[in-house]
Amino acid sequence: MRSIEQTTQEILQLAAQQFKLPAGSLAPGDDFYKKLGIDSLQALEMLSRLENHFKIELPDYEVQGVSDFRTLAERIQARL
């Protein structure tokens, strides 16, 4: 099973890829709305990709109010 660090790194890589940012430009503490310049709908699209990647289902309420990669990683990790 992945460690939380691995999960976090994979999320950062996928997000950078999806929103066309240089690899390594995102950090766990970053606010993804701000850093990626995305709105709530694009955030949902990102979640869909993460769900496919990690092969999990993340109910919408689990990610309400989450805006940084670290907390997102914790929520995903709990479902792996």
Partner 1 sequence: MLDLRNYSSIGEALRDALETWPTDVCLIESDRGEEKLRLTYHEFREAALPLAKAMQDFGIAPGDRVSIIMTNQSKWLISAYAIFFCGATLVPLDYKLKPEEQWQLLKHSGAKMLITEYGIWRQLGVSPGRANAANLITVLATEAPENADLAGALRWEEARGAQPPVFVPRTRRDVACIVYSSGTGGVPKGCMMTHENYLEQCMSLTAVYPFWPGVRYLSILPTNHAIDFMVGFFGPFTCGAAVVHLRTLRPEYVREAFPKYEITYVSLVPLVLKNLQKGLQARFDELPASRRRAFEALRNINRTLTRDHPRLWLSRKLLGQVHAAFGGKLEAIIVGGAFTEPQTLQFFYDLGIPVANGYGLTEAGTAVTVNDLKPFRADTVGKPLPGMEVEIRNPDADGIGEVTVRSKTVMAGYLNEPDLTAETIVDGWLRTGDMGRFDSSGHLQLFGRRKNMIVTEEGKNVYAEDVEQAFEGLRVKEFCVFAANFIWPQRSMRNEKLILVIHLEPGQAFTDELRAEIAARNSRLINYKRLHGLVLYPDDFPLTASLKIKRNELAQRLGALDREQSILPI
Site residues for partner 1 per CB under 8 A: 31, 33-34, 39-41, 44-45, 47-48, 57, 59-62, 64-65, 67
Q: Rounded to an integer, what distance in angstroms lies between the CA atom of residue 54 and that of residue 37? A: 24
* Closer residue to partner 1, CB minimum distance, 6 or 52: 52
* Closer residue to partner 1, CB minimum distance, 1 or 41: 41
Nearest to 36 by CA among 64, 47, 3, 1: 47
* Closer residue to partner 1, CB minimum distance, 25 or 52: 52
Kindly state the smallest distance separating residue 80's Cβ from partner 1, in Å. Answer: 18
Q: Rounded to an integer, what distance in angstroms lies between the CA atom of residue 15 and that of residue 51? A: 12
Q: Rounded to an integer, what distance in angstroms lies between the CA atom of residue 55 and that of residue 58? A: 10
